[in-house]
Amino acid sequence: MRMRINLKFLLVILIVLGTITTLTYWIRCGDVTSAPFDHLDRSNPKAGMKGNLYSLDSEDDNFSENDASPLVQEGVPLIRTRGGLKTLDDIDCLINEEYTVSCKQEDGEVFIPFTFLHEYFEVYGKVVQHNDEKHFEWQHSYSKVYHPRGKYDPHGVFMWFENYNVGVRDRVLCISGAEGVPVSTQWDPQGHLYPIQIAQFGLSHFSKNLTEKTPSIKLLDAGEIFPSAQWTMLTNGQTKSPLKRVLEKTTQKKVLEFKTDGSDTDSGLTITSKEDSNHMILTFDLMMKANVTLSVTILGGKRTIYKLHYVMTDSLLSAHENEIFFGIGTSKDWMKITRDLIVDLQKGLMLVKTSRKGTKPRSPRVRDITLRGWGYIDNITLCSSAHMAHFFAVANWFVRHQDEDGGWPIMVSRRLFPGMADLAPGWYSAMGQGQAISVLTRAFKVTGNITYLYTAMKAVKPFKVRSESHGVMTAFAGKYVWYEEYPTIPSSYVLNGFIYSLMGLYDLKMTCTHKDCKEVTKLYEDGMISLKKLLPLFDTGSGSLYDLRHYSLGVAPNLARWDYHTTHINQLLLLSTFESDPILKSVADRWIGYMKGKRAAHN
């Protein structure tokens, strides 16, 4: 019995770009699970059947003394099947004696449907129409290689992270109002503060600050500088003046004191802004006395009104219809608050909308800002960007939250793979430590504040402690030291996390001026020896491996999907700008080839 393959078609994108009309259908794989061989088994119930394979070669013992000479003969031309077949006929293709797909035949050529090939080989394709001409674009892989523009500067742009927008990622629940750092839903839908995500948020903002143009800033109110637009009371049952310019005691600066009676959302002290979709980063300094809420009215497409409320509370985020509430904590100290209003709006709407649609209003712009409660406020601005403010929110978070062992514990349980013990909440990640170091060395370099450097130096401690003892270090075959993104038992040897951790050590080794430099340098150099030695073990000849769990557990190798494969390439290209060993570049170049369907040679 033959089965027709049940092909799944998955993604449709319609792009109209200038005069080029691209009629696109992406055919993407059904789903991705960790089950080996899942790929074909689903589409064909007979896959996995055993039995003798059809032998192509009547002398299949011919090679068995381990000759390296090729079995395949060459030079005999194909005699095409002839017989008057001028038009394309239907022909069944029997795939590996297991199931059948419908193909076409013309003369000696057989044509195979792409939907089958997509499923079988996980290649991608689309028909592209350009005016009257159309063609089919075959792509072996997706995702983008970032070629370094020059030698890596340990105090400059972090790798290629200027391309990242961490805040808008789906797995960022929101940017914490109290901390100014992202809250991750990775492995815990309730959200947790995940050092790796926080560091990446900081590093991407730091890098964007260096690569993007200088932000444009609109000052709404600061100290004694009166705003162009006047503050007004929305409603009033109040007798005392709600607004005063006073000398605040702790800072000895003239700031705005606000004090309103009402707590309902219709009351408050309001300042209007010229509607402008280019200035959507709100920054201000705030000292809260009681019941403070700062609300921002945002207009979206068709003048839909959204409200973002920043409330003196410890809760994180809530939303009701178009009203979104961020807790900014209950601290009574001065706080520097920086909010990406578009991100905040999007994260809030994600809570109330059932689909992505509607979570990104068109051309949002600020209409007004309202203050309620009692507090002091200063330096209210709307900016086109405020990357360094985000960056320092992150750097300061790392200073505040480092524990006594130098680590930033990750408070979720993590199961990397069945057969590996779960990481219990409180584990450190070499990648988290390394990326935090990359943040902190840059914060030190920019500010000269030695606290950042001390914090970075202390963060090295878990690199010296084995995974078994709550550190992040292991050694492949007891010989080659490895810093574990996930310090599992047995070891997992995740490649990209290891390289990120080495980047942190490198940044620190290039920054430190301390006696501990020697130790950091040794940790880095030992890691590089391991990387260069073990890198080939991640090479499958047609892609790369995400980790070496197959070595640790005796299971199937864990192939890296194309975006991780590309991360590996990007990392190696970056390393090769300052590490002279040619293996880094040669592996990267070979792995780039794999993305276009090239393969390592077989014997």
For the bound state, the minimum distance from the C-beta of residue 314 to a copy of itself, rounded and expressed in Å, comes to 26
- 492 near a copy of itself, judged by CB under 8 A: no
Question: Among 102-110, 325-333, 453-461, 511-519, which window interacts with a copy of itself (CB under 8 A)?
Answer: 102-110
Question: Among 27-35, 325-333, 343-351, 360-368, which window interacts with a copy of itself (CB under 8 A)?
Answer: 27-35
Binding residue (CB under 8 A) for a copy of itself from 4, 45, 48, 212: 48
For the bound state, the minimum distance from the C-beta of residue 22 to a copy of itself, rounded and expressed in Å, comes to 12
Contacts of 71 (CB under 8 A, 6+ apart): 57, 62, 63
Binding residue (CB under 8 A) for a copy of itself from 254, 542, 577, 578: 542
For the bound state, the minimum distance from the C-beta of residue 258 to a copy of itself, rounded and expressed in Å, comes to 39
- 166 near a copy of itself, judged by CB under 8 A: yes
Touching a copy of itself, residues 543-582 (CB under 8 A)? 543, 545-546, 550-551, 554-561, 563-564, 566-567
Q: Is the Cβ of residue 115 or residue 238 nearer to a copy of itself in the bound state?
A: 115
Q: Is the Cβ of residue 372 or residue 568 nearer to a copy of itself in the bound state?
A: 568
Structure tokens at 479: 């010989």
| Angstrom distance (rounded) from CA 108 to CA 603 | 30
The CA-based dihedral angle spanning residues 178, 183, 188, 189, taken in that order and rounded to the nearest 10 degrees: 90
Q: Are strands 305-311 and 323-327 parallel, antiparallel or unpaired?
A: parallel
- 127 near a copy of itself, judged by CB under 8 A: yes
Contacts of 201 (CB under 8 A, 6+ apart): 166, 167, 172, 175, 181, 182, 390, 394
Contact 460, 441 (CB under 8 A): no
Q: Is the Cβ of residue 9 or residue 226 nearer to a copy of itself in the bound state?
A: 9
Question: Among 230-238, 305-313, 315-323, 531-539, which window interacts with a copy of itself (CB under 8 A)?
Answer: 531-539
Question: Among 94-102, 275-283, 357-365, 388-396, which window interacts with a copy of itself (CB under 8 A)?
Answer: 94-102
The 494-513 site mask, x for binding a copy of itself (CB under 8 A), equals x-xx----------------
Touching a copy of itself, residues 422-441 (CB under 8 A)? 431
- 117 near a copy of itself, judged by CB under 8 A: yes
Burial class (CB in 10 A: 0-12, 13-18, 19+), 398: buried
Question: Among 10-18, 215-223, 328-336, 509-517, which window interacts with a copy of itself (CB under 8 A)?
Answer: 10-18
- 72 near a copy of itself, judged by CB under 8 A: yes
For the bound state, the minimum distance from the C-beta of residue 105 to a copy of itself, rounded and expressed in Å, comes to 7
| Angstrom distance (rounded) from CA 276 to CA 280 | 8
Contact 152, 160 (CB under 8 A): no
- 478 near a copy of itself, judged by CB under 8 A: yes
- 224 near a copy of itself, judged by CB under 8 A: no
Q: Tell me how many residues contact a copy of itself (CB under 8 A).
A: 162
Phi-psi region of 74 (alpha: psi -120 to 50; beta: other; left: phi over 0): beta
Contact 365, 299 (CB under 8 A): yes
- 153 near a copy of itself, judged by CB under 8 A: no
Binding residue (CB under 8 A) for a copy of itself from 17, 18, 19, 170: 170
Cβ-count burial 61-80 (b if 16+ within 10 Å, e if not): eeeeeeeeeeeeeeeeeeee
For the bound state, the minimum distance from the C-beta of residue 203 to a copy of itself, rounded and expressed in Å, comes to 11
Distances 47 to 3, 117, 163, 178, 268 between C-alpha atoms, Å: 10, 16, 42, 54, 68
Burial class (CB in 10 A: 0-12, 13-18, 19+), 40: middle
Contact 533, 463 (CB under 8 A): no
Binding residue (CB under 8 A) for a copy of itself from 3, 21, 22, 140: 140
Q: How many residues does the chain have?
A: 603
Q: Is the Cβ of residue 36 or residue 425 nearer to a copy of itself in the bound state?
A: 36
| Angstrom distance (rounded) from CA 484 to CA 486 | 5
For the bound state, the minimum distance from the C-beta of residue 540 to a copy of itself, rounded and expressed in Å, comes to 4
For the bound state, the minimum distance from the C-beta of residue 400 to a copy of itself, rounded and expressed in Å, comes to 21
Structure tokens at 211: 């690569």
Task: List alpha helices for 402-548, DSSP H.
Answer: 430-447, 450-458, 495-509, 517-534
Q: In the beta sheet, which residues pair with residue 369? A: 271, 296
- 96 near a copy of itself, judged by CB under 8 A: yes
For the bound state, the minimum distance from the C-beta of residue 360 to a copy of itself, rounded and expressed in Å, comes to 12
For the bound state, the minimum distance from the C-beta of residue 257 to a copy of itself, rounded and expressed in Å, comes to 42
| Angstrom distance (rounded) from CA 589 to CA 523 | 27
Question: Among 63-71, 337-345, 438-446, 451-459, which window interacts with a copy of itself (CB under 8 A)?
Answer: 63-71
- 47 near a copy of itself, judged by CB under 8 A: yes
Q: Is the Cβ of residue 194 or residue 376 nearer to a copy of itself in the bound state?
A: 194
For the bound state, the minimum distance from the C-beta of residue 354 to a copy of itself, rounded and expressed in Å, comes to 15
Q: For residue 508, how many other CB atoms are within 10 A of its CB?
A: 28
H or E stretch covering 290: strand 281-299
Q: Is the Cβ of residue 139 or residue 277 nearer to a copy of itself in the bound state?
A: 139
